[in-house]
Amino acid sequence: MVSKEEEHKKALMQEEIDIIKKMSKIKHKIAVMSGKGGVGKSTIAVNLAAAFAKKGYKTGIMDVDVHGPNVPKMLGLEGKSLKFSDDGIIPIETEEGIKVMSVGFFLSSQDTPLIWRGPAKTGVIKQFFAEVIWGDLDVLIIDNPPGTGDEPLTILQTIPLDGVVLITTPQSVVQEDVIKSVNLVKSLKISIIGIIENMSGFVCPECKKEILIFGKGSGAKMAEKMDVPFLGSLPLDVETSAASDIGTPILIKEPESEISVKILKIADKIESKIMK
Q: Which stretch binds ligand ATP (CB under 6 A): 23-31, 32-40, 120-128, 263-271?
A: 32-40
Size, binding site for ligand ATP by CB under 6 A: 21
Which of ligand ATP, Mg ion, none does residue 198 bind to, with CB < 5 to 8 Å depending on kind? ligand ATP
Q: Of these, 148, 198, 248, 260, which contacts ligand ATP (CB under 6 A)?
A: 198
Which of helix, strand or coil describes residue 29? strand
**Cβ contact 73:92 at 8 Å:** no
- Residue 274: DSSP 8-state: I
Q: Are 33 and 144 in contact (CB under 8 A)?
A: yes
Q: How far is the CB of 79 from ligand ATP (least distance, A)?
A: 19
How big is the CA angle at 50 (ends 47 and 52), to the nearest 5 degrees?
A: 110
Q: What's the min distance (Å) between Cβ of 269 and ligand ATP?
A: 18
Select the residue interacting with ligand ATP from 35, 40, 194, 232 (CB under 6 A): 40
Strands (DSSP E) along the chain, which ranges? 26-33, 59-63, 83-85, 88-90, 92-93, 99-102, 137-143, 163-168, 192-197, 202-203, 210-211, 230-233
Q: What is the 3-state secondary structure (H, E, C) of 196-215?
A: EECCCCEECCCCCCEECCCC
Q: Is 154 in the site for ligand ATP (CB under 6 A)?
A: no
Residues 240-269 that bind ligand ATP (CB under 6 A): 240-241, 244
Q: Which does 181 bind (CB under 5 to 8 A by kind): ligand ATP, Mg ion, none?
A: none
In sequence order, which ranges of 28-111 are alpha helices (DSSP H)?
41-54, 71-74
Q: Is residue 37 near ligand ATP by the rule CB under 6 A?
A: yes
CB nearest Mg ion: which residue?
42
Query: Please, which of residues 85-144 interact with ligand ATP by CB under 6 A?
Result: none
Tell me if 223 sits within 8 A of 194, measured CB to CB: yes
Residue from 9, 16, 38, 84 touching ligand ATP (CB under 6 A): that is 38
* Closest CB 238 distance from ligand ATP, rounded Å: 6
User: Can you tell me the distance from the alpha carbon of 200 to that of 239, in angstroms, rounded to the nearest whole number?
Assistant: 15
Q: Which stretch binds ligand ATP (CB under 6 A): 110-118, 132-140, 150-158, 234-242?
A: 234-242
Would you count residue 48 as binding ligand ATP (CB under 6 A)?
Answer: no
In whole angstroms, the minimum distance from the beta carbon of 24 to ligand ATP comes to 28
Residue closer to Mg ion (CB basis): 42 or 168: 42
Measured distance CA(38)–CA(31) in Å, rounded: 16
Least Cα distance to 143 among 58, 41, 60, 74 occurs for 41
Q: Minimal distance in Å, beta carbon 157 to Mg ion?
A: 20
185 Cβ neighbours under 8 A, 6+ residues apart: 33, 156, 164, 166, 192
Binding site for Mg ion (CB under 5 A): 41-42
Q: Which residues bind ligand ATP (CB under 6 A)?
A: 34, 37-43, 65, 68, 70, 145-146, 198-199, 234, 236-237, 240-241, 244
